[in-house]
Amino acid sequence: MSSAHHPRFRAFTPRDLDGLLRRVPLTDDQRLALRAVSSVLPFRTNAYVVDELIDWSAVPEDPVFRLTFPQAGMLPPPDVRRMADLLAGDAPRAEIQRAAHEIRMRLNPHPSGQLDANVPVHEGQRLTGLQHKYPETVLVFPRQGQTCHAYCTYCFRWPQFVGEADLRIATDDIAATGSYLRAHPEVASILVTGGDPLVMSTEVLRRYVEPLLRIDTVRSIRIGTKSLAFWPYRFTTDRDADDLLRLFEEVVASGRHLALMAHFTHPQELRPPVVREAMRRVRDSGAVIRCQGPLVAGINDSADAWAELWEETTTLGAVPYYQFVERDTGPQGYFGVPLARGHAIFRDAYARVSGLARTVRGPVMSAMPGKVCVDGVAEVAGEKVFALHLIQARDPDLVGRPFFAAYDEGATWFTDLKPAFGASRFLPGLEAG
Ligand SMILES: *Cc1c(COP(=O)(O)O)cnc(C)c1O
Ligand code: SF4
């Protein structure tokens, strides 16, 4: 990790969980339950998150605490009990691992066919560290970037972090990536993602980014990151922070659009002065910061939180991009917000912010056919319906065409929706999930 030498750097792993939780008034059983959850789902945080972002006087309700610390409700009670019994009984490591693996396999680790559906094949070889779902954009998962400065409890990429080799997506075959992109001139945008690619040193990141600058058809490069929220020193006082900004400048000087796709969850993440300094430095490099994040129960499921997040990021010169719906994987049952309520929160927040912040789209589901946006609830021909459209689709012909689903107050994902008006499909070419 590029930040490991930083004087403020200290990573906390499941081994440290018990000690950290002693700051909170919890019973032994409650602490054991949280350790049980962290033996199945990833846990990692750091001194910056613990000391600067979490308001310990507000724990356990504090949103950033809930963003990074396990909660008992994240797994079904029988699974928590089973893992707690194993931990309390000092069961052998192998037995704990086996039980954890079994539970993970029941949590839909790769929703929407993540592992297979979007992997491109080039010259007879599957490029397992790439995803190519929409014609104009390719996702690159650098091998060294498949971890994060801290882990979000609601993360949909959680299988990347639990040491289950078969569940991982990653590449270090930079030559094959270049060769694929040369054979696919329709790809104009590259999204380098993870994990968080900015856990990599600038030197390693450069190995992935610089070759892209020699491919004329690549017009924009995005870097998906939560480092502004979880480790803003990456852009200020990390040893290679200046070098990172120089790399950004090189991309911009090549005539390309460089977007830092910054994951923010709650306005509390914007409070420390170092975040603002980091955002100023990124903008000075010529990169654009675009903000996105999911709507999650118990953390940011209020219009106040979103209105403040969008207004504040806009004030800091960033551009609100997507508000996501929590995916149907891992602890979705705990963090998911029904689409109807999610849209009400989105609309309420959207109505309060200036037009400059209304660049945001949402709530958006990254589902099998594409990015489905919930536009609202309406009554059409006497039937209560959801109005939706695809912002992105495997089949570009489906983009931007309104369609309707029967209203369902409890629906949390695309696959819960049925076409309205008794129709057999949403659109020609778009079936119910
Ligand atoms: C969201 C996403 C993209 C990028 O879509 P944009 O609308 O261009 O932001 C590309 N590929 C996949 C798989 C995605 O989920
Ligand atoms: S930063 Fe992104 S990839 Fe990393 S844990 Fe959070 S949601 Fe997952």
User: Which atom of ligand 1 is the closest one to the Cα of 137?
Assistant: 10
Residue written as token pair 């030498």 = 5
**Are 326 and 284 contacting, i.e. CB atoms less than 8 angstroms apart?**
no
Neighbouring C-beta atoms of residue 348, cutoff 10 Å: 14
SS3 at position 339: helix
**Ligand in nearest proximity to the CA of 140:** 1
Integer angstrom CA distances of residue 102 from 95, 96, 159: 11, 10, 13
Residue 5: pLDDT above 90?
no
Q: Which two tokens stand for residue 74?
A: 């994240």
Between CA 43 and CA 40 the distance in angstroms is: 9
Share of residues in the chain with pLDDT > 70 (%) = 97
For residue 275, what pLDDT is reported?
98
**Ligand in nearest proximity to the CA of 226:** 2
Which residues, including other chains, have CB under 8 Å from residue 299's CB and lie 6 or more apart?
A: 63, 66, 67, 154, 265, 266, 335
Residue 59: pLDDT above 80?
yes
Closest to 223 (Cα-Cα) out of 151, 306, 285? 285
Closest to 382 (Cα-Cα) out of 424, 422, 412? 422
Share of residues in the chain with pLDDT > 90 (%) = 85
Residue 397: pLDDT above 60?
yes
Closest to 193 (Cα-Cα) out of 291, 251, 261, 247? 261
Which neighbouring-strand residues pair with 53? Answer: none
Average pLDDT for residues 260-277, to the nearest whole number? 98
Average pLDDT for residues 226-248, to the nearest whole number? 98
Selected residue with higher pLDDT from 333 and 242: 242
Distance from the alpha carbon of residue 302 to the mean position of ligand 2, in angstroms: 21
Between CA 388 and CA 433 the distance in angstroms is: 14
Average pLDDT for residues 164-176, to the nearest whole number? 71
| CA 404 centroid distance within chain | 27
Distance from the alpha carbon of residue 258 to the mean position of ligand 2, in angstroms: 21
User: Which atom of ligand 1 is the closest one to the Cα of 321?
Assistant: 9
Residue written as token pair 């600058």 = 213
**Are 138 and 183 contacting, i.e. CB atoms less than 8 angstroms apart?**
no
Burial level of 112, CB count in 10 A (0-12/13-18/19+)? Answer: buried
Neighbouring C-beta atoms of residue 5, cutoff 10 Å: 10
371 lines ligand 1 (CB under 6 A): yes
**Are 340 and 325 contacting, i.e. CB atoms less than 8 angstroms apart?**
no
For residue 165, what pLDDT is reported?
57
Q: Which two tokens stand for residue 260?
A: 């830092």
Between CA 364 and CA 21 the distance in angstroms is: 34
Residue 6: pLDDT above 80?
yes
> Up-side HSE of residue 6: CA atoms within 13 Å toward CB?
25
Average pLDDT for residues 244-252, to the nearest whole number? 98
Which neighbouring-strand residues pair with 260? Answer: 223, 289
Ligand 2 pocket test, pick from 114, 151, 168 with the greatest ligand atom count within 8 Å of Cβ, gives 151
For residue 325, what pLDDT is reported?
97
For residue 168, what pLDDT is reported?
61
Distance from the alpha carbon of residue 208 to the mean position of ligand 1, in angstroms: 19
For residue 333, what pLDDT is reported?
87
Beta strand segments in 201-287, E: 220-225, 257-263
Which residues, including other chains, have CB under 8 Å from residue 273's CB and lie 6 or more apart?
A: none
* Amino acid letter, 316: L
Between CA 135 and CA 287 the distance in angstroms is: 24
Q: How confident is the model at residue 3 (pLDDT cuts 50, 70, 90)?
A: confident
| Maximum CA extent, the chain | 64
Task: Name the residue ranges covered by the structural domains of the chain.
Answer: 3-105
Between CA 329 and CA 162 the distance in angstroms is: 14
Q: pLDDT tens, 97-156?
A: 999 999 999 988 877 666 678 999 999 999 989 999 999 999 999 998 989 999 999 987
**Ligand in nearest proximity to the CA of 150:** 2
Ligand 2 pocket test, pick from 148, 167, 168, 332 with the greatest ligand atom count within 8 Å of Cβ, gives 148
* Amino acid letter, 191: L
226 lines ligand 2 (CB under 6 A): yes
Q: Which two tokens stand for residue 244?
A: 């990172």
- Element holding 159 (H helix, E strand): none
Whole-number average pLDDT of the chain: 94
Which residues, including other chains, have CB under 8 Å from residue 72's CB and lie 6 or more apart?
A: 30, 33, 34, 37, 80
